[in-house]
């Protein structure tokens, strides 16, 4: 039985994980603050993830991180920690979204050089970071295929007389409204045709199921930094 500690059990994802793990036959939750755990799952805040990382390093336990919005310093800390403990870091734990990453990679290989590319995302009104980590990952997938630097090619806002679209730019559009769980669309628009790849989440339980799948996958790993593409064997 896999003993799992949650860093934010009362949050939206914490509640979804509590439901999913409660229905699982081979995993159980431990009480908040317990040191008797096999692995920690973090869907919290940047500070919460920093504390979770420190605890797992201290205890020598694995860590699944779904929190987003990290700066370079935190990403380097995670990378360094992965030399000591096993970590799955993914901006989106949904199996469907990770299939979307793969489909976007394929589309970028075939259409990327001839298309205008836009990434659209929508989330609930309480989400604090924008664009979402998933949207940024989708943009990075495209940039990697095109051998481009996302930092210089990304366009995050448009207003007024902006002039003609620059070739090779990757646009991002953000919506924050109501209780939208999560929607992502990548558009490849070429003269005469347009391809749209879309994922829409209607429940947080699918993210929780993916996080639990990552937790089980991580149990036989001693060290290393992984993502959901590794968990789902989508890199082969």
Judged by DSSP in three states, 62 sits in: strand
**Does the active-site annotation cover 123?**
yes
pTM above 0.85, yes or no: no
- The pLDDT value given to residue 69: 85
pLDDT tens digits, 43-95: 999 999 999 999 999 999 999 999 988 999 999 999 999 999 999 999 889 99
What residue ranges do the domains of the chain occupy? 2-89+204-231, 95-201
Alpha helix (H) ranges present in 65-204?
A: 72-81, 95-111, 133-145, 150-153
- The pLDDT value given to residue 187: 98
pLDDT tens digits, 95-151: 999 999 999 999 999 999 999 999 999 999 999 889 998 999 999 999 999 999 999
pLDDT tens digits, 156-176: 999 999 999 999 999 999 999
Residue with tokens 């659209």: 120
CA–centroid distance for 31 within its chain:
26
Please tell me if the domain spanning 2-89+204-231 has the same topology as the one spanning 95-201.
no
User: Dihedral of CA 104/110/112/118: which sign?
Assistant: negative
> Which whole number is the average pLDDT over 175-192?
96
**Does the active-site annotation cover 199?**
no
CATH topology of domain 2-89+204-231: Rossmann fold (3.40.50)
Catalytic residue chosen out of the listed positions 3, 61, 102, 123: 123
Say whether domain 95-201 belongs to CATH 3.40.50.300.
no
Instruction: Report the alpha-carbon distance of residue 219 to residue 222 in Å, rounded.
Output: 8
Name which of 213, 219, 228, 181 is nearest 200 in CA terms. 181
- The pLDDT value given to residue 74: 96
Catalytic residue chosen out of the listed positions 102, 127, 216, 221: 127
Q: Is the per-residue pLDDT at 9 higher than 80?
A: yes
Instruction: Tell how many helices (H) and how many strands (E) occur in the chain.
Output: 8, 11
- The pLDDT value given to residue 27: 95
Give burial (CB, 10 Å; 0-12/13-18/19+) of 222: exposed
Q: Strands 154-155 and 170-176: what pairing?
A: parallel
Cβ-based neighbour number of residue 55 at 10 Å: 17
């Amino acid at each position: 039985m896999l003993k799992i500690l949650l860093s934010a059990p009362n949050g939206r994802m914490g509640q979804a994980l509590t439901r999913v793990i409660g229905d699982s036959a081979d995993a159980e939750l431990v009480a908040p603050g317990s040191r008797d755990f096999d692995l920690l799952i973090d869907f919290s805040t940047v500070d919460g993830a920093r504390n979770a990382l420190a605890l797992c390093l201290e205890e020598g336990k694995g860590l699944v991180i779904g929190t987003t919005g990290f700066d370079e310093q935190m990403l380097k800390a995670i990378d360094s920690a992965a030399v000591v403990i096993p970590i799955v870091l993914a901006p989106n734990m949904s199996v469907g979204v990770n299939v979307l990453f793969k489909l976007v990679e394929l589309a970028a290989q075939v259409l990327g050089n001839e298309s205008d590319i836009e990434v659209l995302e929508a989330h609930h009104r309480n989400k604090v970071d924008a664009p979402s980590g998933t949207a940024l990952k989708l943009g990075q997938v495209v940039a990697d295929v095109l051998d481009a630097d996302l930092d210089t090619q990304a366009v995050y806002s448009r207003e007024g007389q902006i002039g003609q679209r620059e070739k090779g730019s990757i646009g991002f559009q953000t919506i924050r409204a109501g209780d939208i769980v999560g929607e992502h669309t990548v558009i490849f628009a070429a003269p005469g045709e347009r391809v749209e790849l879309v994922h829409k989440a209607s429940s947080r339980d699918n993210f929780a199921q993916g996080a639990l799948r990552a937790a089980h996958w991580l149990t036989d790993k001693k060290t290393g930094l992984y993502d959901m593409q590794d968990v789902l064997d989508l890199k082969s």
